[in-house]
């Protein structure tokens, strides 16, 4: 086995979010398991993480909470630390990017890049919106793609041909926020010349993957990024909260977060280990870098950060194995802080369950190949059946039985072929789990450990020691000793996953110091005496878990009552006075619609594919009249014409009722809001069933008569 030093990192969590279970399993916990394995294995190991603190999001949060960005970061950094501590995450150092050390290293890497000619400086006519008074982010600029001529390519990428772009390349750029043509104010920015590094990046990707066996999703993402064609990437921004740019003329700018954040791994190491950090980061021959993260972070670790390293010309330790997970969902929904969906680190602390149970569940359900799903029912099942009934019970039944018949006696016995064969199997399985851990197959490794437990239970059952003890007590004793051997291996192997539980098991077996290094070395066991047996965990109770479930459902933002949502809508009959094609959009019409009482609106609708202009002219249609207006390709749309949609078919909701008639739900008071958002509109699940427009099965009316469709029997209203 390789004796390389193991440098392990977990993706830097962004500071202003409370980490949820998905975040935790994705990076910090997975990396912790591997780091613990490596230490137990006797490898020289360093596990580094930090909070990522710079950027717009923090500035915004600071404004919202009326604090300085630094105060925001201080507060949340501490929160992160508390959560990770609760999860028994054992960092060798947990740093933060808003630290002088970080500034120094970021700047020095920048200087290297500049010295080596990988920095481009462009004083471009950068898109600046005079109206909104800000420089526009790439994607907020649109225009004509220089490659394929597509007329609304975004500033970062063209949707038609897929090429990566810069906003400056676009012909006829436009501000997407206000629709005005942005002023192209001269701003100077620094760019990392990725094209010049493309070849080395490809070489790096291939050789690193060959040696380190990247997670498949990481390899394919990296490949497609590079093969799509790389463009120079700006590494500075017009912001305040960030790493200052050490260059004249850049006093008002900072480095872009994506540039400085990965450098946080290095700076955190340097801060934690000022004397020895270079032994890790500047010793690629003897160091293997393992990086853990969720899938959204892949490009930065496989392309962007390696590019900075390669371009700096220094002999950095570079990515060896990338372990990128998919996402964990919560009860078939996405985790969402804003909607209050999910279990967050702070919740776990409050619930007060043994942390190893959380670790077990998360690792057992680790989203390795595809997204996986947290559910309270699954939580109960997995912990009770797969862990407690299996491992917990095996430990207990073995120790209780042994204690009863051989009190205070060491685990020594003459092993017969029956035990010897069994132990060979145990050895094989234990080695298998060890190798799976070595290869960072964390979920598989855990499953192997559970299989070991099942094997033990079967051995116990088949041998019937409760009978044997009466006739051949020494034979029964040998059996139990063999099972103690198995439990010892389980105890050792469990250490990376459930450190506290591992220690408890090994202590009960009288060998608390056993590690991965003496896996399957049973020589000390014959002197070991069991402690008084104790239950590892009592089983989770259905009632308790139901309680949690209810509590967390209650915390969620209540889903909007359809009737309440409907009450806010102001849907009226309007007559199409005028209709013409949108000047800049081939799929849109621009209509003038009379809603009665002199209220005449301009409304944009995407109906070109379904209707001719003359089919609609003069017709009366249903219109959402209190919808917040929105610019569509430069034309302000002051409402929305309703239609029924099913698959690719669409039918506009026409009406014979007088202009201005309001859509009603019999028996329901309506109190239209002055203005609603498009989200509020869609919160109301209007449908057509059997040619009838309805809400929750109740038909809607216009002046007392039902609203119907002609060709589409059912569909959604949009």
Partner RNA sequence: GGCGAAGUAGCUCAGCUGGUUAGAGCGUACGACUCAUAAUCGUAAGGUCGGCGGUUCGACCCCGCCCUUCGCUACCA
- Residues 507, 531: Cα–Cα separation, whole Å: 8
Q: How far is the CB of 638 from RNA (least distance, A)?
A: 8
What tokens appear for 239 in the block?
A: 């912001």
Nearer to RNA, 71 or 474 (CB): 474
- Residues 588, 347: Cα–Cα separation, whole Å: 48
Q: How far is the CB of 297 from RNA (least distance, A)?
A: 14
Residue with tokens 């850049």: 250
Give SS3 for 633. coil
Nearer to RNA, 92 or 356 (CB): 356
Q: How far is the CB of 443 from RNA (least distance, A)?
A: 7
CA separation, residue 111 to residues 98, 104, 190, 231 (Å): 19, 11, 12, 20
694 in Cβ contact with 687 (< 8 Å): yes
Nearer to RNA, 142 or 288 (CB): 142
Q: How far is the CB of 46 from RNA (least distance, A)?
A: 30
Nearer to RNA, 344 or 401 (CB): 401
Nearer to RNA, 62 or 565 (CB): 565
Nearer to RNA, 78 or 377 (CB): 377
626 in Cβ contact with 671 (< 8 Å): no
Q: How far is the CB of 209 from RNA (least distance, A)?
A: 14
Q: How far is the CB of 96 from RNA (least distance, A)?
A: 27
Nearer to RNA, 85 or 602 (CB): 602
Q: How far is the CB of 290 from RNA (least distance, A)?
A: 20
Q: How far is the CB of 456 from RNA (least distance, A)?
A: 8
Closest CA to 571 of 707, 713, 688: 707
232 in Cβ contact with 166 (< 8 Å): yes
Nearer to RNA, 62 or 644 (CB): 644
Nearer to RNA, 173 or 264 (CB): 173
User: Strand (E) positions, 451-570?
Assistant: none
What tokens appear for 375 in the block?
A: 């559910």
Q: How far is the CB of 243 from RNA (least distance, A)?
A: 26
Q: How many residues are there in the chain?
A: 718
Nearer to RNA, 66 or 471 (CB): 471
Q: Give CA 432 to chain center in angstroms.
A: 30
The Cα diameter of the chain in Å comes to 103
Residue 272 β-bridge partners: none
Vertex 676 angle, CA 634 and 672, to 5°: 135
Half-sphere exposure of 20 (CA within 13 A, CB side): 16
Vertex 55 angle, CA 51 and 56, to 5°: 135
Contacts of residue 123, Cβ cutoff 8 Å, sequence gap at least 6: 186, 187, 188
Give SS3 for 220. helix
Q: Give CA 358 to chain center in angstroms.
A: 18
513 in Cβ contact with 521 (< 8 Å): no
- Residues 255, 453: Cα–Cα separation, whole Å: 52
Q: How far is the CB of 191 from RNA (least distance, A)?
A: 23
267 in Cβ contact with 105 (< 8 Å): yes
Nearer to RNA, 86 or 450 (CB): 450
Give SS3 for 364. helix
Nearer to RNA, 252 or 586 (CB): 586
Provide the edge-to-edge strand list for the sheet that holds 134-135. 134-135, 119-129, 183-192, 233-234
Q: How far is the CB of 631 from RNA (least distance, A)?
A: 8
Q: How far is the CB of 361 from RNA (least distance, A)?
A: 11
């Amino acid at each position: 086995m390789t004796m390389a030093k193991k440098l392990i990192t977990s993706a830097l969590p962004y500071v202003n979010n409370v980490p949820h279970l998905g975040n935790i399993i994705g990076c910090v916990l997975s990396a912790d398991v591997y780091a613990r394995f490596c230490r137990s294995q006797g490898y020289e190991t360093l596990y580094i993480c930090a909070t990522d603190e710079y950027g717009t999001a923090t500035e915004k949060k600071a404004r919202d909470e009326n604090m300085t960005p630094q105060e925001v970061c201080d507060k949340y950094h501490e929160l992160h630390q508390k959560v990770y501590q609760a999860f028994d995450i054992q960092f060798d150092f947990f740093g933060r990017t808003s630290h002088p050390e970080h500034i120094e290293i970021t700047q020095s890497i920048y200087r290297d890049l500049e010295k080596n000619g990988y920095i481009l400086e462009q004083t471009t006519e950068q898109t600046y919106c005079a109206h909104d008074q800000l420089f526009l982010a790439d994607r907020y600029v649109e225009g004509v793609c220089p490659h394929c001529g597509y007329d609304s390519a975004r500033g970062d990428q063209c949707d038609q041909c897929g090429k990566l772009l810069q906003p400056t390349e676009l012909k006829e750029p436009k501000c997407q926020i206000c629709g005005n043509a942005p002023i192209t104010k001269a701003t100077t920015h620094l760019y990392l010349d990725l094209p010049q590094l493309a070849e080395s990046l490809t070489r790096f990707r291939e050789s690193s993957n060959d040696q380190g066996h990247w997670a498949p999703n990481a390899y394919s993402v990296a490949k497609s990024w590079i093969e799509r064609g790389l463009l120079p990437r700006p590494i500075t921004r017009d912001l305040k909260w960030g790493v200052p740019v050490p260059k004249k003329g850049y006093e008002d700018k900072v480095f872009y977060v994506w540039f400085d954040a990965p450098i946080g791994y290095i700076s955190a190491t340097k801060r934690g280990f000022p004397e020895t950090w270079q032994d890790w980061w500047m010793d690629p021959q003897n160091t293997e870098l393992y990086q853990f993260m969720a899938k959204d972070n892949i490009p930065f670790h496989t392309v962007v950060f390696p590019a900075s390293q390669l371009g700096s010309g220094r002999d950095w330790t570079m990515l060896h194995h990338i372990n990128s997970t998919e996402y964990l969902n919560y009860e078939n929904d996405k985790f969402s802080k804003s909607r209050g969906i999910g279990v967050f680190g702070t919740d776990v602390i409050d619930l007060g369950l043994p942390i190893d149970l959380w670790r077990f569940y998360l690792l057992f359900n680790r989203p390795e190949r595809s997204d996986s799903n947290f559910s309270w029912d699954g939580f109960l099942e997995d912990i009770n059946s797969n862990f407690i009934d299996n491992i917990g019970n095996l430990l207990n039944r073995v120790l209780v039985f042994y204690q009863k018949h051989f009190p205070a006696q060491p685990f020594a016995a003459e092993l017969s072929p029956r035990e010897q064969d069994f132990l060979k199997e145990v050895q094989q399985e234990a080695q298998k789990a060890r190798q799976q851990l070595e290869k960072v197959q964390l979920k598989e490794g855990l499953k192997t450990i559970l299989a070991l437990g099942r094997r033990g239970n079967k051995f116990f059952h088949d041998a019937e020691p409760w009978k044997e003890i009466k006739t051949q007590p020494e034979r029964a004793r040998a059996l139990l000793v063999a099972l103690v051997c198995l439990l010892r291996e389980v105890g050792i192997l469990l250490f990376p996953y459930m450190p506290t539980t591992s220690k408890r098991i090994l202590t009960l077996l009288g060998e608390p110091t056993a590690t991965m290094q003496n896996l399957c070395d049973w020589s000390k066991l014959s002197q070991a005496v069991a402690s008084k047996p104790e239950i590892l965990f009592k089983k989770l109770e259905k009632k308790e878990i139901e309680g949690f479930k209810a509590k967390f459902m209650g915390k969620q933002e209540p889903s909007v009552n359809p009737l309440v949502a409907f009450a806010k809508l102001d849907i009226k009959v309007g007559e199409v006075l005028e209709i013409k094609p949108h000047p800049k959009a081939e799929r849109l019409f621009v209509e003038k619609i009379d809603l009665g009482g002199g209220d005449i609106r301009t409304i944009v609708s995407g109906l070109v594919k379904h209707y001719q202009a003359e089919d609609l002219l003069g017709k009366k249609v249903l219109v959402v009249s209190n919808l917040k207006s929105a610019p569509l390709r430069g034309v302000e749309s002051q409402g929305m014409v309703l239609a029924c949609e099913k698959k690719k078919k669409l039918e506009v909701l026409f009406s014979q009722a007088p202009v201005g008639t309001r859509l009603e739900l019999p028996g329901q008071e309506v109190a239209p809001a002055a203005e609603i958002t498009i989200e509020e509109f869609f919160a109301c699940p209007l449908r057509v069933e059997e040619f009838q427009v309805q809400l929750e099965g109740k038909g809607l009316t216009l002046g007392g008569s039902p609203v119907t469709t002609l060709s589409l029997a059912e569909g959604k209203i949009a």
